[in-house]
Amino acid sequence: MFSLFRKFLEQLTGKHPPLRPPGAIPEKEFEKKCIRCRKCVEVCPYDSIEVAHGEWGIKMGTPIIYAREIPCYLCMKCPPVCPSNALLPITQKEEVKMGLAVINEVTCLPFNGVICRACYERCPIYRKAITLRDEIYPVVYEEYCTGCGICENVCLTNPSSIVVNSKHFTNIMKIGENE
Amino acid sequence: MLKFLYEHLHKLRRAVQILVVLVFIAVPILNDMGITIIFGTLYSISIGNLDIVDPALTLQNILMVKELPVVMLLGALIPLAVALLLGRVFCGWACPYNLIAEYGDKLRRKLRPKSVKKQNRNPKNPIYWIVFGIIFLVLMITGLPLVTYFSLPGLITAQMADLLFLGTVGIEILLVLVILLLEVFLSPRFWCRFVCPVGATLALARSGRTMRVNFDAEKCTCAPAEFPCNKACPIDLNPRKAGIYPYCFNCGECVDTCRSFGKALTFTMQPLEERNINLNHRVRELERS
C-alpha cells in the first residue's frame, strides 16, 4: 500500500518520466505545456500513442508511448500537429531523441549463446543506432538511437532484453550509477 | 433569415448542441479509420490546416510557461472573435457540459422545487473575476495545469475521444460527475456561473457592441405577476434586470419564451442606452408599487 502510494507520488513529481512522442520537450516543461488535446493521439496512424490515466497523477491526459505494446514508427505525423509546442515540429526521423535503448546483457539472447538479430535488423536507423560487435553482440549507439522503441517491441525474450527509456529517465539513471 | 432564427431559437440551439456532440463522436471514429481532415477535441481542434484553440488554455500556457505560443495565440483568435461579436455563444450553443447540465438542472427543478425562485437575482459581478483570478494564481504558483481539468467541454470531448479511439476512460471524467451532482443537489449551475475558466476567458472579450439580450419594459406584458423569462433561463438569471453579463451566454431561452408574450426580450448588437436603464428603473418602481 505504502509502496503504491510512493509510486504514485514519484509519478506525481515526475521522477518516472514515460516515453513521449517524437519531438517532446523535457519532461518538466512537457507537463506544463501539453494541453492534453489528444491531437497527436488521433493523428497517429499506428495507434502508438496512448493517453496517460489517473495512475500517472499530474501527467494524466498526456500522450505516452508503451513501446513494448506498439512502438513509434517515426512517421513524423504528430510533431507538427501539436498546438502548444510540447512536441517541437521536427520533420526528420534522425532528429528524434525520444529516449535511449538499453540492452540487458543478462537476458539478451546473443550474450547467452543464441544468435538473434531481431533488434539489429528492425532498427529504423539501420546499422547506425544498433550495430553488431563481432557480428554477434548488439550494441546501442547513443548519438544515433532515436528511442522509437521498435527494438523493445520486437525483442524475442520476455520481458524484453532491450528497453527504451525516456531520455530524461536515463539521465537520472546515469547520475545514480556515478554515485 | 433572422425571423426564422427567432422563431426556432430553442429547437435550433438544441440541434446545434447535439450536432457538436455528434461531431465529437464522429471525429475519433473517422480518425481511427485514417481520415484526419478534422481531429482534436474542444481543447484544440484542427480543421484542415486551421487550428482552433481554447483561449483559456492559451492564457494558461502564457502564464505558466511564460513564453508566447504562436499557434495557440492564433488559434484562440477565432473563439475570441466570435465571443466579441456574439457573446459567450460557445457556452450556450456548443458546450457539451452545458447540454448535460441543462438536463441536470431540469432534474434539480423537479427534485427540489423549493430551490426554484419566482424571480431570479443576478449575481454580483466581482465573484466571477475573483474565482477566475484565483484559478490562474494557483496554477502559476503550483505549475498544475488546472485549466486543462477545469475546461469541461475539452475534458468531456477528450474522454469521448479516448473511449472511441483507444477504448479507455480516465478518472478525470469523475470530475464532471461530481460537478453535475453538486449542481443538482447543492448549488444550481455554480460551475457555469462562477467557476468555468473557459466561459470567463470568453467573457473577457466583451465590448459595448457585443450581442446582448435587450429588455424593453414598455412591451413587457407579464410583469410583475409572472416571470416566464426567469423560469426559462437555464442559469437562473433575470433578463429583466441589469447585470446579466458576464454570466449570460446568449442561449436565447428567455427571448424564445418572451415571443409568446410581449416580445419584450430581443437580441441586439446595439450598445445599452441610457434610455433602457431609465426604463429598468421605471419597471422597478412599478414592481414596488
Pick from B74, B166, B168 the residue to mutate for testing the A interface (most A CBs within 10 Å): B166
CA distances from B257 to A115, A133, B16, B105 (A): 79, 81, 19, 18
d(CA B48, CA B154): 19
Closest CA–CA distance from residue A93 to any residue of chain B (Å): 21
For residues A4-24, average pLDDT: 71
Q: Is the pLDDT of residue A179 over 70?
A: no
**Nearest Cα residue in chain A from B153:** A37
Q: What confidence tens digit (pLDDT) does each residue in B65-74 have? A: 888 888 899 9
pLDDT of residue B121: 87
Chain A residues with CB inside 8 Å of B28's CB? 42
Q: What confidence tens digit (pLDDT) does each residue in B200-236 have? A: 999 999 888 899 998 888 888 886 778 888 889 999 9
Chain A residues with CB inside 8 Å of B158's CB? 36-38, 61
C-alpha cell at B53: 484553440
Cβ–Cβ < 8 Å for A83, A33: no
Please identify which residue in the block is written with the cell numbers 537476458.
A107
Is B43's CB within 8 Å of A29's CB? Answer: no
Q: What confidence tens digit (pLDDT) does each residue in B72-87 have? A: 999 999 999 999 999 9
Closest CA–CA distance from residue A98 to any residue of chain B (Å): 21
Q: Is the pLDDT of residue A111 over 60?
A: yes
Average pLDDT, chain A: 85
Candidates B275, B278, B255; CA nearest to B89 is B255
Bridge partners (DSSP) listed for residue B266 = B214
Closest CA–CA distance from residue A116 to any residue of chain B (Å): 33
Q: What confidence tens digit (pLDDT) does each residue in A25-63 have? A: 988 889 889 999 999 999 999 999 999 988 888 888 999
| Burial category of B4 from C-beta neighbours within 10 Å (exposed 0-12, middle 13-18, buried 19 and up) | exposed
> Is B255 in a helix, a strand, or coil?
helix
Q: Is the pLDDT of residue A170 over 50?
A: no
Q: At what angle do helices B96-111 and B9-32 cross, to 10 degrees?
A: 130
Is A36's CB within 8 Å of B158's CB? Answer: yes
Is A83's CB within 8 Å of B75's CB? Answer: yes
Quote the percentage of chain A above a pLDDT of 70. Answer: 84
pLDDT of residue A34: 92
**Nearest Cα residue in chain A from B48:** A81
Q: Is the pLDDT of residue A83 over 70?
A: yes
pLDDT of residue B40: 93
**Nearest Cα residue in chain A from B33:** A45
At residue A108 the predicted structure's pLDDT band, cuts being 50, 70 and 90, is: very high
Is A35's CB within 8 Å of B148's CB? Answer: yes
pLDDT of residue A3: 61
Q: At what angle do helices B197-204 and B55-65 cross, to 10 degrees?
A: 100
Q: Using CB atoms, which residue from B34, B43, B166 is nearest to A51?
A: B166
pLDDT of residue A174: 46
Q: What confidence tens digit (pLDDT) does each residue in A112-157 have? A: 999 999 999 999 999 899 999 999 999 999 999 999 999 999 999 9
Instruction: Give A87's DSSP letter.
Output: B
**pLDDT-flagged residues of chain B (< 50):** none
H-helix segments, chain A:
2-12, 27-33, 39-43, 118-122, 150-154, 167-178
d(CA B67, CA B143): 14
